[in-house]
Amino acid sequence: MLLQALLLCTAPGLSAAANPCCSNPCQNRGVCMSVGFDQYTCDCTRTGFYGENCSTPEFMTRIKLLLKTTPNTVHHILTHFKGVWDIVNSIPFLRNAIMRYVLTSRSDLIDSPPTYNTHYSYKSWEAFSNLSYYTRALPPVPDDCPTPMGVKGKKELPDSDMLLDKFLMRREFIPDPQGTNLMFAFFAQHFTHQFFKTDDKRGPAFTKGLGHGVDLSHVYGETLDRQHKLRLFKDGKLKYQVINGEVYPPTVNDTQAEMIYPPHVPEHLRFAVGQEVFGLVPGLMMYATIWLREHNRVCDVLKQEHPEWDDERLFQTSRLILIGETIKIVIEDYVQHLSGYHFQLRFDPELLFNQQFQYQNRIAAEFNTLYHWHPLLPDTFHIDDQEYSYPQFLYNNSLLMEHGLTQFVESFSKQSAGRVAGGRNIPVAVRKAAKASIEQSRHMRPQPLNEYRKRFQMKPYESFEELTGEKEMAAELEALYGDIDAMELYPALLVEEPRPDSIFGETMVELGAPFSLKGLMGNPICSPHYWKPSTFGGEVGFKIINTASIQSLICNNVKGCPSTSFSVGDPQPTKTVTVNATPSHSGLEDTNPTVLLKGRSVEL
């Protein structure tokens, strides 16, 4: 043990005084603890392994390893043999058993309660209790290591601008082979802003968010003060205005809710919603408008069912219903599309009621890092046969008024998003954001790519060529990093060879899916005490959740029920989608072309 540590830490050019845990000697989730200045010990408790470095499997572990298939094999099985999966999907107990296994096997990979944060590479009460930190799946690389990645690689990481130019920036738009569209791209951006809220003042290790999961704070506001500014305080509804017969968010002036807009945006186009940055692009405001309409529509449904309820109960219950709708759409439409599986994923909290499962969640820094999917964005935006550049698109809510939500949905459903893995597909318009993603990740000193692959039960890459699946980028990366075990996480996720006909590589999926499913199913509404009709206003509210889909969300709130999905390649569904009836269509008011503000009517 001592000899191994000394050999690693006295390699040419490295300091002999390095922390012995810098070499990550403990395998299979064993915990490294220094003993003195030059020795370490591995804690193998409950890993299923033993020995000096937790590398010898116990008897039952050995059997499990013999039976275990690789992630790529599992992916191949799930994305092929459609006829077999059609049969499986039609047999409820079999489909439920597989879905239960998917949920538990993924969720078991996430530590709960949380274990580390950027400032504590060991267990501490601060790492558990301080909710202002993102948690960590792996502790940061110690400060006293000889290289940024521990003991491997060069003493300095490659220049971020060089990485962008050589490996990440787009030469030519590469569409996603899975057919991902802009409805998906904007949903991803809109959805994740409720829990990825980095505190720029304190640094990338910190979140401004008070919650660590699906709480719809991007709809209702992060604070109670902001929520109150956005609420109508009548019938549970949010404030709104009606323009040319359709519901849109209220203005900043009408709510006094702060939003980020540049000075040139006129006051009547400064819409106010839960997340202050959603004025950035009309695609985000499109979804903000749809969810505003859905909230008020659900309030109408509950008001008809429960005329005895006051404003507060209508509001709170509607929020719970929308949280449920969101989780169902994310699992059964969003994740289903990303997976490419023929197996049909199912949102059913009862699948976990007899399992060991903790209904809590903390957003991890690694999850935040990997979710920077800049390559999804196109070079220009196509709406109703018109093409808009980024300068024309940014901070331009007038496009919503000009084209209307129906045309937005139809256009974004048809426009392809970019492939994320494979490298060289980030549009020049978001170069600054991509550079910030690299540098913020480095600030938190994440472990190398291969350490994350081992942590999430993948085989470490043995070469850069194995990582990229080609020779040119592989040779250039090797020249810059020196060792595949020194490859940093975020750039690796973007240059990794995509799975066949897929948007992502193996690491992105196997690392991201556990965080995603644990965060969704760990929501309080999925717990046994919450998941019952009475929580959601009775069977009528429960049904809204259990019949939710991206198509029903659009049909209930967008004029004409335009056909949509998250893929340009999906067959266009018929307009026989189940729509939840409401006594008054909250998104589509039969009014003259006037603006209604808090009961006021103003001519345009």
Give the separation between CA 548 and CA 329, rounded to whole angstroms: 6
Give the separation between CA 366 and CA 388, rounded to whole angstroms: 33
What is the three-class DSSP state of 485? helix
Q: Is 599 left (phi over 0), alpha (psi -120 to 50) or beta?
A: left
- Asked if 264 contacts 397 with a C-beta cutoff of 8 angstroms, the reply is no
Characterize the bridge pairing of strands 381-383 and 386-388: antiparallel
Neighbours of 271 (CB within 10 A): 25
Give the separation between CA 198 and CA 213, rounded to whole angstroms: 14
- Asked if 51 contacts 44 with a C-beta cutoff of 8 angstroms, the reply is yes
- Cα Rg for the chain, rounded, in angstroms? 25
At a CB cut-off of 8 Å and minimum separation 6, what does 452 contact?
137, 138, 366, 446, 489, 507, 511
Sign of CA pseudo-dihedral 375, 378, 383, 389 = positive
Rounded to 5 degrees, φ, ψ at 416 are -75, 145
133 classed as catalytic: no
- The three-point CA angle 242-226-554 to 5° equals 45
Give the separation between CA 553 and CA 290, rounded to whole angstroms: 8
Among 75, 120, 133, 193, which one carries the catalytic annotation?
193
382 classed as catalytic: no
Q: Which of 552, 103, 181 is nearest to 343 (CA)?
A: 103
Tokens representing residue 156 in the block: 């300095």
- Asked if 259 contacts 183 with a C-beta cutoff of 8 angstroms, the reply is no
H or E segment at 277? none
End-to-end CA distance of the chain: 78
Give the separation between CA 152 and CA 366, rounded to whole angstroms: 21
Sign of CA pseudo-dihedral 249, 254, 257, 263 = positive
Among 371, 461, 481, 490, which one carries the catalytic annotation?
371
- Residue 34's Cβ-count burial label (10 Å; 0-12, 13-18, 19+) is middle
- Asked if 369 contacts 437 with a C-beta cutoff of 8 angstroms, the reply is yes
Q: Would you name the residues annotated as active-site residues?
A: 193, 371
